[in-house]
Structure 1
């Protein structure tokens, strides 16, 4: 019997595979010194309360706010990086708690600022900027605050809303407690005939099983359990809607949808464009279902057949250094400057590469305005790890560009733009891998991977977005939605999206009840817009001119210096039009053509 491979401790990982957090603070004592400085200077911001109607005072406050916020974020980033590299290290859990606790205190110190600005008239703000030239830097920052003015209530009303905020978040909390703590699932048999308790975690494994009886059993057991709680979950779902509709009306928005999109100045037409454009192109998804049915050799294709791969898993073993080289080759169309930044990140210790005992799972990109970017990976030599490397470095180089180009106040980008650069890198990588992979089995695997990515990110999330829109609109019109009505709406959407070939099993009618994102109103459509924008950018980068690449880099450099729709449009992608989504459907169709051609040869 072979020796069991043990997970390495943090100390056993080679330094070249660890992020260089010491560049932020060489010792923890230096962190403590800065933390004490933060505690000393942050409360002084409170001294400006009631004085912001003076140009010099407003400028001094904003400059000091930038200094203090910069320091707070720097301290917080160091603490969470140290805490995540070994969650069992109690010393770093203590400093994480310390800075987190102080974060709440700091928020309270500066909480007077926005209400005080909103008490002023727009003309008054303009006069202050004209009188004090230094305020021109903050013009757009103040404009964004003033945009909220029609939707901010009186001081007493705001206090009242704040006081009931916990009550208004109750539906989401109830949903979380029910599905995470109280709900249990039946025993099913795995591929080897062993009895296994189904969980939300292992469901994703069973629904991909090559054994049809296993995935059918998992499907029926999961959704059968949710059906037993359908009235409770329907009540939490509709109560969440009621709360959101109440808040949107209270804040004088025309609809719940507008209240979600308007703060980032995203027209409601963008949301409708997503739903309408995908609806016009559902024949591509229907074709996908037909091909899948044929390749699986099924007389009938059911909802529980959607996630099983039509391609046998290919054996990949991509060492980290090889993964880095593949990313470099795939990202060559972005130009020498971009590649130099990528290589700098590898060389200078942006990345924490391998899993170690106690390390946080998953992957992310982090960093603060004054630090270099940091990337957490748990690299295990799979092709998906290469994709994750490209993705997270996309985030990090986006942040690198924006922090180098923009002042602190505009360096962060909003959620609507946040996944674009990272997904653009993934699209470039997949295009490179598919074009250059010589092994047929691996190439088929890669084609199928990207197909599944588009199906689940674009088609599925649009169906979710349409369900949200329909249920909000019905409730805004005064309709009450029972669990039966929610199931009917969801069933009809599945019939429409997946087409005549799909047997829409009754169990899928309950899928709406297990989607936690539905408790963040009108959130999921941004997965679709982000992917569509990224796909368009990748095609522009691959097929365009050097000027097109420079425009894309302009997007990376823009940070939050303008509204997201404008930033993307300036770079060449207009999300108010159907084109980016149509480009994505075109790529989906190309991949289906590739799949059929590869299999027929």
Structure 2
């Protein structure tokens, strides 16, 4: 079962890595205005205060043992133990989030890295100190537990937790055994730690000079920006240099990932699951068939992806589309750049359909230290949102001024508002929502941003740019993330068969999958062999376990919800919006599939995915209509390829 350390590691809800500085190297953090930095003093006034809190928690942990053996004494005794456990966990949350945020501000600094390591060790110690609770509860008859819930009002906050513990009974060990398992938590993140330091601090990323004369250091954030270069020669140079750098560390990164997989195999075996996939999905009661059906549905709809790739080739005027051509804007005439303040204003305007209170609360958050907006030297790449119950959310961004960065801001704002509404309406014991539903909140905000911008567009080039970006969202979320999910499943199943995972083997496996998705053998998109190393910089493989598929399922769900909200708004109704906000307010009070069904989307059926494919094809229809109008009524070649 998931340890508290694993839960904290997954608490940062990640988006795709964001960009670097707008011109070459990122600035020193000290030069960034304070209004663009998060406010960690809301957690602790100083590192010294953090250290004191850490030591105090470590000192208090042994005292929790006073509850052991007494859970069945009375309903009050059970409530006392659970409330004390929650208090310890909340203290750890503050300590862990602060240390993680300080580390992410500059991953080169040894002091914050040591703080995070100390927080991780403390999490392992708390896991060990409380590891007997679930076995202790399971030692009681189920009806006795339910009777205690009815008799003790404080246990009302724990009813979902207690029912979930009962569900876990076949996969729960004895108290001494669970303590031993919890103590292994300090080892389970070794591969992740190695990869984090290598990718963010030690790997010698190359610097390339673009045709414009601009020099770009191709770290992960720099690559994310430079791969959008308008000139194909620049894109090829960027891809060759970046993936060439990754290739040089293929064996090291492969060893790190294999270490993470071994930890997953241990979790599967020790808690008696049939597979690593089942082990990962069981926590949120997601049927394994949901994951496998997504992979099957996406593979069945690869012709839709190939239609888009043909359209992209046509719009870029290329004779042959290459993997290097997937990120450059489709409409070269529209160079959309945004300041940080413009992006904030756009995001706030986009979420208007969710109501004035939602807007106002998000605006206040942007002004009061929720977010670390801008890239800086040594800063953790990418974007995420996390939070501490009773405080507020924390967002990390690397805003670069592109449309994708505005979309990332809206994405993380969705996570943060989910956190706020859950905290306001749920007790701590029910405040942590599942990732499966978390990504609905983020991608719904992205959808609202796109629709608002599309409605405001005044020209066909603007509309083409936005529609093209929307297609890219669908490609990267529905197809690319599912491609990652299929790869993740493949290497876990290989390890379960007893096959060793080397960097070379992982690259071979990945290349075969990416070439199939992008139609390499059919001439749809050429994928060079070097790009088989792309897996090695996807942080989700190291930081999470079977996470990425939820980007696809969530986009499917949020597309449906956003459409219902817009349709209601057009008719002066708020039913769909109210159901959606109730979903956010529900936090972790029920399983995610049930919460989504109540909000109006049944993820146990294939209907939502089919609707997403309709939207993707409809978007291409609209683009092709604009192109035909511009070309005097001639249809685009992409339409011919579709037939």
Aligned length: 597
CA contact (8 A) 2:26 2:376 kept: no
> Is 1:538 aligned with 2:572?
no
Aligned pairs for 1:560-579 (under 5 A) are 560-579=588-607
Query: Structure 1: how far apart are the matches of 2:502 and 2:44?
Result: 56
Counterpart secondary structure, 1:502:
coil
The structure-2 alpha-carbon separation of the partners of 1:147 and 1:24, relative to structure 1 and needing over 3 Å to count, comes to same
- 1: CA distance between counterparts of 2:589 and 2:262? 34
Q: Do 2:323 and 2:525's aligned partners in 1 also have CA atoms closer than 8 Å?
A: yes
1:517/1:344 Cα in 2 relative to 1: closer, same or farther (>3 Å)?
Answer: closer
Unmatched runs of 5 consecutive residues or more in structure 1: none
Using the alignment, how far apart are the partners of 1:375 and 1:486 within structure 2? 32
- Alpha-carbon spacing, 1:527–1:299, altered in 2? closer, same or farther (3 Å): same
Give 1:425 deviation, angstroms.
0.9
The residue number in structure 2 matching 1:276 is 296
For the pair 1:552 / 2:580, whether they are aligned, the reply is: yes
CA separation of 1:380/1:406 partners in 2, compared to 1, >3 Å: closer, same or farther? same
How far 1:482 moved relative to its partner?
Answer: 8.6
Equivalent residue number for residue 431 of structure 1: 451
In structure 1, the partner of 2:613 is 585
Instruction: Provide the residue aligned with 1:457 in structure 2.
Output: 477
Q: Secondary structure at the match of 2:283?
A: helix
Q: 1:261 aligns with which of 249, 263, 281?
A: 281
Q: Aligned partners of 1:82, 1:25: CA distance in 2, in Å?
A: 11
For residues 84 and 173 of structure 1, the distance between their equivalents in structure 2, rounded to whole angstroms, comes to 13
Which deviations, in whole Å up to 9, do the C-alpha atoms of 1:383-404 show, x marking residues without a partner? 4454343223222221121111
Which residue of structure 2 aligns with residue 507 of structure 1? Answer: 529
Match of 1:52 in 2: 71
Q: What CA distance in whole angstroms lies between the structure 1 residues aligned with 2:339 and 2:209?
A: 35
Judged with a 3 Å threshold, the aligned counterparts in structure 2 of structure 1 residues 169 and 567 are, in CA distance, closer, same or farther, namely: same
Give the superposition deviation at 1:405: 1.0
Give per-residue Cα distances to partners, 1:271-308, cap 9 Å, x unaligned: 02211222222221111111122222222223333233
Q: Normalising by structure 2, report the TM-score.
A: 0.77
Q: Which of 304, 311, 323 is the aligned partner of 1:303?
A: 323
Structural mapping, 1:210-359, within 5 Å:
210-220=230-240, 241=261, 244-245=264-265, 247-312=267-332, 314-316=334-336, 318-346=338-366, 350-351=370-371
Q: Secondary structure at the match of 1:312?
A: coil
Alpha-carbon distance between aligned partners in 1 of 2:517 and 2:290, rounded to the nearest angstrom: 20
SS in 2 for 1:264: coil
Is 1:528 the equivalent of 2:547?
no
Cα 1:190/1:150, change in 2 over 3 Å: same
Provide the secondary structure at the position in 2 that maps to 1:539: helix
> Is the Cα contact below 8 Å between 2:374 and 2:398 reproduced in 1?
yes
Shift of 1:525: 1.0
Whether the 8 Å contact between 1:330 and 1:428 is mirrored in structure 2 is: yes
Structure 2 residue aligned with 1:595: 623
Alignment of 1:72-111 (within 5 A): 72-74=92-94, 103=123, 105-111=125-131
C-alpha root-mean-square deviation of aligned residues, in Å?
4.6
Q: 1:340 to 1:254 in 2, by over 3 A?
A: same
User: Which stretch of structure 1 is more off in the superposition, 156-165 or 585-594?
Assistant: 156-165
Secondary structure of 2:444's aligned partner? helix
Match of 1:418 among 438, 443, 462: 438
Against the structure 1 CA distance between its residues 287 and 379, is the aligned structure 2 distance closer, same or farther, given a 3 Å change threshold? closer
Q: Which moved more, 1:137-146 or 1:379-388?
A: 379-388
Q: How big is each residue's C-alpha offset from its partner over 1:91-144, in whole Å with a ceiling of 9 and x where there is no partner?
A: 999988887775555444434323433444434433443554532331211222
- Residues 112/470 of structure 1: CA separation in 2 closer, same or farther (3 Å cut): closer
More off after superposition, 569-578 vs 487-496: 487-496
Q: Which stretch has the larger CA shift, 522-531 or 41-50?
A: 41-50
The DSSP-based 3-state class of the residue aligned with 1:419 is: helix
Q: Which has the larger radius of gyration?
A: 1
Change (3 A) 1:160 1:192: same
